[in-house]
Structure 1
Amino acid sequence: MVTLVLPTGSLHEPTLRLFDAAGLTVHRQASRALRAHVDFPGIERVVFGKPREIPGLVADGVVDLGLTGTDWIEESGAKVEVVHEFQYSKTTSAGWRVVLAVPVDHPARTAADLPAGVRVASEYPAIARRYFEEELGQEARIVHSHGSTEAKVPDLADAVLEIVETGDTLRHNDLRELVVVRRCAVQLVVATQADPVVRATAEKVALLLKGARAATEHALLTVVAPADCWDRVRQELPRYWWLLGGDPETVVAQATYELRGVAEAITRLTQAGAVQVVETPMRKLVTA
């Protein structure tokens, strides 16, 4: 049976919401309990861990699959295989960035403007070293930070290499983004030599999570049109649509639309002759 590890910290709540939307509600005795279960065949238990620990736990076979960030997979160097990537973070429906930032009054405008031996504080010393040594070919003193990284400037560091979602934390600490070093997302991972049963379970979980994510970005439109207007209305439907039925005088069809295009779609459908358009929220949109 399979053990799944989910992240604590900033990814904890959005991950639980995603699993709930996917029909994989995580059940536990208390909100801070570190063991849980989901009603899904094949997953025996659910545990929780820090995102920085999860790649190693999966790679070492302590757990079978887990969700963690791109940043911690690279930082840890753990040998894992990505089953699927999901774009979300604590405060946004997108991923996050690892950026190099300096005080707002710093003269540097690019990373190359920083002097040799610049002190850079970061929770990601491996990524920081790789960025400066291999990508910039520049000397830097990496100060390993274990939290409150922004506060280490200017006394302990000249710059920071830190995660950013909205940029508010940088601004509140009088720092400005110099360059994006990495773009990150949540990744569902298994060990590189995962058992076929584990891999199959991971694929099933990924399918349901993808369906839940896709549903938040789409809506279902039910379109009712007179038969003599149907040809014009049909031209306004997306590539994939299906007939629900109707009668000799009326045609009823359905199609899915991206939310950002729903308002325009409704307008075009009614202008083409539709007499009724009903928008319905979706729980899952699964594409095999």
Structure 2
Amino acid sequence: MTTTQLQQPRQPQLPSSLRRMASKVPEVTAWFWVIKVLTTGMGETASDYLAHLLGPIPAVTLGGVALAAALALQFSARQYVAWIYWTAIVMVSVFGTMAADVLHVGLGVPYTVSTPVFLAALAAVFGVWYAAERTLSIHSIRTRRREVFYWATVLATFALGTAAGDLTANNAGLGYLGSGVMFAVVIAVPVVAHRRLGLSAIAAFWSAYVVTRPLGASFADWMAVSTGRGGLGLGLGPVTLCWTVAILGLVGYLAATHKDVARP
């Protein structure tokens, strides 16, 4: 051992939960919002299609296994990879829809109850995340612990959005098209509030993020359900396939161009 080596202090090893990583999430661009809405609609119809095809219990089991595999792949990645990230988002969308539907259809919990329950769950995740990290910014997802908080939040937003969308479409009597139009207007509120009224970028982002779920799901349901239920009658399978193809095309484009990769 040399004298130089003896004089160099040993660098302390941080816990794996606190080690900084490359960004694990995409930049928030127009592409982000378009794909996010597409994944919500695809997740809605895919969940219903699998439940009808396989039965509720096998569908939920399959969805849970696929979600676990997708998240394991996402957590193992060293940086943001478009196809890995969006695969995880799609599986969160599918399983989040199943979780909300199980409460309503399987356990008989009305949407008027599940919606505030999921809202409280989301608020709890935000509270714990902020207490631990002092930020809710997605630009700070550079440690393992923050990544865990991020995906817990994403799952909670999908469950909340599913319940809220079904609440407005069914209980409020707006129908799927009316519900979709309403949420298209609602999603503009945090944007305007941020630009005109001083709402923080973080609050505006997460508010819009929650609304993307019922927005996409409402339009996907409208396209899939029968004309007797106020829809276009295209069917769950064809709508799921069409929205999946659109997602694959856009994610492939981003993977090739890296337009959603954070710059140093």
Structure with greater Cα Rg = 1
TM-score of the superposed pair, with normalisation by structure 2: 0.25
TM-score of the superposed pair, with normalisation by structure 1: 0.23
Bigger helix fraction: 2
Bigger strand fraction: 1
